[in-house]
Chain A
Amino acid sequence: MTQESVSSINANDLTVIIDTGCANLSSVRFAFERLKANVVVSADFDVIRSAARVVLPGVGTAGAAMDALKQKNLIELIKSLTQPVMGVCLGMQMLANLSNEHGGRSEQDITCLGLVPTDIGDLDSKGLPLPHMGWNQIEVSDHPLFSGIENGSYVYFVHSYRAPISEYTLASSTYGESFSAAIGKDNFFGVQFHPEKSAKVGAQILQNFLQMGLNMGTSQ
């Protein structure tokens, strides 16, 4: 496992950030550009399908974000992807079955993409201030996304909802209760925190993500 391949950008080695129309797509793009990745923001079906790896970003509420995916007819496309797909923050939550973050729109739980079988609920901070905002420590698994990341590393979180600890937990953190800092199943995974805002630790995680797509490409 070397990092040699990173320096040579392959035109086919494309990272696509799905254009969900949410407000802060550019932060995620800038983070990949700092790593010299070949990255585009797109909602075009062919561009997304051609990607070596795909990022599903998101801020706002689950209801609004799922509505945006529906409007752009992206739901079935995302479900059909076979390359590595990483959700970030709300993008991670959208990979789950359900979210109870209604955003005042209705009393109904929001149906999400159903790619990681877990349900998103309120973070029980046990009286600590909410949202959970700031730098917190993670305990990581041996998932390749966390290669080289030590337990106890700090990453930047901003959220009030969470995926509970489950068999799909790839990393955990604690704020009041313990919760999933990352979840995943098969080629779909996501992080609750913001790697694009998590200084060197975040950059390493994004670099690991870029490696994963390369590994997959060479094995086919």
Chain B
Amino acid sequence: MLAKRIVPCLDVREGKVVKGVQFRNHEIVGDIVPLAARYAEEGADELVFYDITASAHDRVIDKSWVSRVAEQIDIPFCVAGGIKTIEQAREKLAFGADKISINSPALTDPSLISRLQDEFGRQCIVIGIDSYYDAATDSYKVKQFTGDEAATKDTQWYAQDWVEEVQKRGCGEIVLNVMNQDGVRGGYDIKQLSMIRAICDVPLIASGGAGTMEHFKEVFEQAKVDAALAASVFHKGIIDIGELKQYLHANHIAIRL
């Protein structure tokens, strides 16, 4: 049976892993390669690295750490941040990334998704979506350039419409990050994730809000996502990945132990 994936996310800035609260006030939590190796050893099923400044500041991520991670860890990993061209994507994959994740550049030019798919196949094209709950209109909307508070802006897209669009254009997986929940550790947005799951035919990764082991159980059971991504609970040692997987297994969720 296909296992549900536990995916630690390492936000990267200046070659260090950082974590902020609701995308702000980033603090350094450690070096990239040792943290990646530790998570792999503890049982992480996959890793995601986001260069949170790359999109916002029009920079491409420093590539050297990508191959250092690929050399040392034996689980899949995805690299995100400022990839705007086929050549930039090819470079990340050549350095050993299994997948590349596109967020802001896909909103600027949606045709990038289909061009990447034609070149590399949909299996390595992940689309990251930052959505937030807009209480005024009772709807979920997509934001762009979320790596930098000053650069962050609203888009024309409702989350559902953008999810449909990126699938049509050929993405292989979607990471849905709910910004209201990010870093607050109050639980995943089950309501929105369930709604998106119903219209998502590719693997769906939940992101934003994990605070307890119960939150992981809920998001797998209720929103039927394929994977759950979290950062601060792992970086700060609030949840141990090995214990989390034992807990989920004991609750009859398909898990690789």
Contact = CB atoms under 8 A, between A and B. Distances in A.
Interface of A: 23-27, 30-31, 33-34, 59-61, 103-104, 128-137, 154, 156, 158-160, 174-175, 194, 196-200, 202-203
Contacts of B250: none
What secondary structure prevails in chain A residues at the interface with B? mixed
Contact of B226 (A104, A133, A158, A197): A133
A137 B2 CA distance: 7
B71 A129 contact: no
Contacts of B67: 26
B75 A59 contact: no
Given A23-B124, A59-B120, A174-B1, 17 more contacts: A23-B90, A24-B98, A25-B94, A26-B70, A27-B70, A59-B93, A60-B121, A61-B121, A130-B201, A131-B123, A131-B203, A134-B3, A134-B226, A136-B3, A198-B74, A199-B40, A199-B74
User: By CB atoms of chain B within 10 A, which of A103, A129, A197, A198 has the most?
Assistant: A129
B94 A24 contact: yes
A26 B69 CA distance: 12
A129 B202 contact: yes
Nearest to B202: A129
A136 B120 contact: no
B187 interface: no
A31 B202 CA distance: 28
Interface string B172-201: 110000000000000000000000000011
B36 interface: no
B45 interface: yes
A175 B203 CA distance: 13
Contact of A129 (B3, B94, B204): B204
A154 B123 contact: no
Contacts of A194: 76, 98
A135 B46 CA distance: 10
A209 to B, nearest CB: 15
